Structure 1
Amino acid sequence: MPLPTFSFSTTAEDVAAAFAEQIRGKNVLITGTSINGIGFEAARVLAKYANLVIIAGYNSERLKLSEEAIKKEVPGANIRQLVLDLSSLAAVRKAGAEVNQYSEPLHVLIHNAAAPVVKYNLTVDGFESQMAAAHIGPFLLTKLLAPKLLAARSESYTPRVITVSSELHSFGSLLDLDAVARPDPAKYATPGEWYIQAKSANILFASELARRAQGKIHAYSLHPGSIFTNILQKEETKKDMIAIGTLTADGLPNEERWPWKTLGQGAATTLVAAVDTRLNATPNAFLWDCVEANDKVAPHCADPETAAKLWTITEELVGEKFTF
């Protein structure tokens, strides 16, 4: 039976149904899984078929609520909670050590979590908060879990790492490598500009990971679409989202600006990146509306020299070399 054609309106349920046999027996870790987010929706759908879904987040109470909600719908789901604060290198190392004690290998690692788009803020390690949650923390976590991912590799299967980026990466013209290492509040006037930097780093990390892994791990980045998730509904985020026109004056999706997706549609591209076997031939693709869309990657995020430099800088920031 031919595989279906996916598009803007495809849902995560559609993708999972098409690749149910590929999901069976797989172990998946996904970050940012609070209810009413696309990470939760991806976890919910994967839990119907996967052997194990590890839901990760910094708030243990939210993790508990997410697990309860998934098991209410899928009583037999194998869910494991992982407390993970991506804004702290020490916390990432603690979470990484916990996962490395699990007996199971890891087939798919999905970096879905993001920091709220709020005014300039530094983490405990001195990193800009959005860059820490979107890139630096996930980079370290991937490095720590690489042995688990490689343990899932076989002649017929290559493990995958997915980073959820955004079309907004193209609103910038460069990744400021100096600002990654030495953030300066005077450099960028708005939270949105830091967001663009973080989402640019997502794409560059994925492409460089795929290049360095040399076929041992496949890495994909993606634009999920515009979805009215929990992060856009946070009071500290609304003001800036209204200011740039993403939300209307009353804090609702601005449908005149661009088309909006449901949660199910928003999680679909993540599911494609995680399980669609057609991507095996392109281990570093950028996805948009559930299909490859490398032509939509802005020039500054398609530059291999920038990707290599970002990798080296991030290794220095986390104090660890990432080798395979």
Structure 2
Amino acid sequence: MWLFSRKGSSGFSGYSTAEEVTQEIIGNGLTAIVTGATSGIGAETARVLALRGVHVIMAVRNMAAARDVKEVMERDIPSAKIDAMELDLSSMASVRKFASEFNSSGLPLNLLINNAGIMATPFMLSKDGIELQFATNHLGHFLLTNLLLERMKRTALDSNREGRIINVSSRRHQLSYPEGIRFGKINDPTGYHSLSAYGQSKLANVLHANELARRLKEDGVEITANSVHPGVVDTDIFRHHSLFRGTAS
């Protein structure tokens, strides 16, 4: 437990809350997209960003749940500016539709938080015929980021404020399949292991952020890209593994 309570160079520890970490931040004038913002880490991220004055776009699959979450946030934070837009990351058509509608809105985009994800599901294919965890956790976010990148570049240039892209990954990226990402067997059920497939998708998140960060720096663009391990938190992502739910609690 001492590892979590020990403060790092930032002055915060594993027990620090999002409200504590953002205490000095003024987000007025910023716009953020948070995927998977109806529960867990995504909902808390959206709430605290709204609390700090950021205009939050909740990119969600379940619009009914989004309306409920939005209502609670607006009740608790009267000044909150929150909107919800439909996004199913497992469908490339849905990703393209979301990006097109957002780009047509004329809104700036300072922060893109690729948070949504699923974990350790039985073998399933997405609507596009891609293994569901890889499609949802990586490919959907990869396409979304690419389709919104020009808007982010324009926003950074016009506002003279550094943009941020965050891929919420997991330390499980270290425990993918032995060969890392099984590029030739993504959709092959043979040898499928639910947790290794999850690790594979999270490894892809990390590699995406690393390469994107390199390219942005090389091009002199004022946008950073990072992947983060959010810790082990008891959220709905563990719904396919009750053992993990108990451990996280």
TM-score by length of 2: 0.89
Asked if 2 retains the 8 angstrom alpha-carbon contact of 1:47 and 1:77, the reply is yes
The equivalent position to 1:15 in structure 2, one of 13, 17, 21, is 21
Q: Which residue of 2 aligns with 1:102?
A: 105
Residue 50 of structure 1 deviates from its aligned partner by 2.8
C-alpha contact 2:53 2:79 (8 A) present in aligned 1:
no
* Residues 119, 195 of structure 2: 8 Å contact kept: no
How far is 1:177 from its partner?
Answer: 2.2
Query: In the alignment, which residue of structure 2 is the partner of 1:59?
Result: 62
Deviation at 1:201, TM superposition (A): 0.5
Counterpart position of 1:228: 234
Q: Which residue of 1 aligns with 2:122?
A: 119
Give CA deviations for 1:119-176 in whole Å, capped at 9, x if unaligned.
0100111111111111101111111111211122148422111000111111234222
SS at structure 1 position matched to 2:96: helix
How do residues 82-231 of structure 1 correspond to structure 2 at under 5 angstroms?
82-154=85-157, 156-172=160-176, 173=178, 174-180=180-186, 183-188=187-192, 190-214=193-217, 215-216=220-221, 217-231=223-237
Q: Which runs of 4+ in 1 moved over 6 A?
A: none
Q: CA deviation at 1:212?
A: 1.6
Which amino acid counterpart does residue 118 of structure 2 have in structure 1? Answer: A
Task: Give the AA of the match of 1:105.
Answer: P
**Is this contact kept in 2: 1:175–1:197, CA < 8 A?**
yes
Letter of the structure 2 residue corresponding to residue 27 of structure 1 = T
Work out the CA distance in 1 between the residues paired with 2:226 and 2:10. Answer: 20
Which position in structure 1 is the counterpart of 2:247? 254
Whole-Å separation in 2 of the counterparts to 1:30 and 1:254: 27
CA distance in 1, matches of 2:224, 2:183: 24
Percent of residue pairs identical: 37
Seen in structure 2, the aligned counterparts of structure 1 residues 115 and 4 have a Cα distance that, compared at 3 Å, is: closer
**2:96 counterpart of 1:73:** no
**Partner letter of residue 161 of structure 1?**
I
Structure 2 residue runs of 5 or longer lacking an equivalent are 1-8
Structure 1 gaps of 5+ residues are 248-252, 261-324
Q: Amino acid of the residue matched to residue 116 of structure 2?
A: A
| SS of equivalent residue, structure 2 residue 117 | coil
Q: Is the 8 A contact 1:84 1:92 kept in 2?
A: yes
Report the Cα distance in structure 2 between the residues aligned to 1:149 and 1:15, rounded to whole angstroms: 24
CA contact (8 A) 1:134 1:198 kept: yes
Shift of residue 116 of structure 1?
4.3
Contact in 2 for aligned 1:31/1:112 (Cα 8 Å): yes
How high is the TM-score relative to the length of structure 1? 0.69
1:48, distance to aligned residue in structure 2 (A): 1.2
Would you say 1:28 and 2:25 are equivalent positions? no
Equivalent-residue separation in structure 2 for 1:77 and 1:39 (angstroms): 16
Q: Aligned residues, how many?
A: 235
Contact 2:162 2:224 (8 Å CA) reproduced: yes
| Cα distance in structure 1, aligned partners of 2:10 and 2:173 | 29
> How far apart, in 1, do the equivalents of 2:55 and 2:30 lie?
7
SS in 2 for 1:123: coil
Q: C-alpha separation between the residues in 1 aligned to 2:78 and 2:53?
A: 13
What secondary structure does 1:231 align onto?
A: helix
State the 1:115 CA deviation. Answer: 2.2
If asked which structure has higher relative contact order (CA below 8 Å, sep 6+), I would say 1
Residue number in structure 2 paired with 1:39: 42
Contact 1:27 1:50 (C-alpha < 8 Å) held by counterparts: no
Q: CA RMSD in A?
A: 1.8
Deviations 1:202-234 (A, max 9, x none): 1000001111222422100011011001222x3
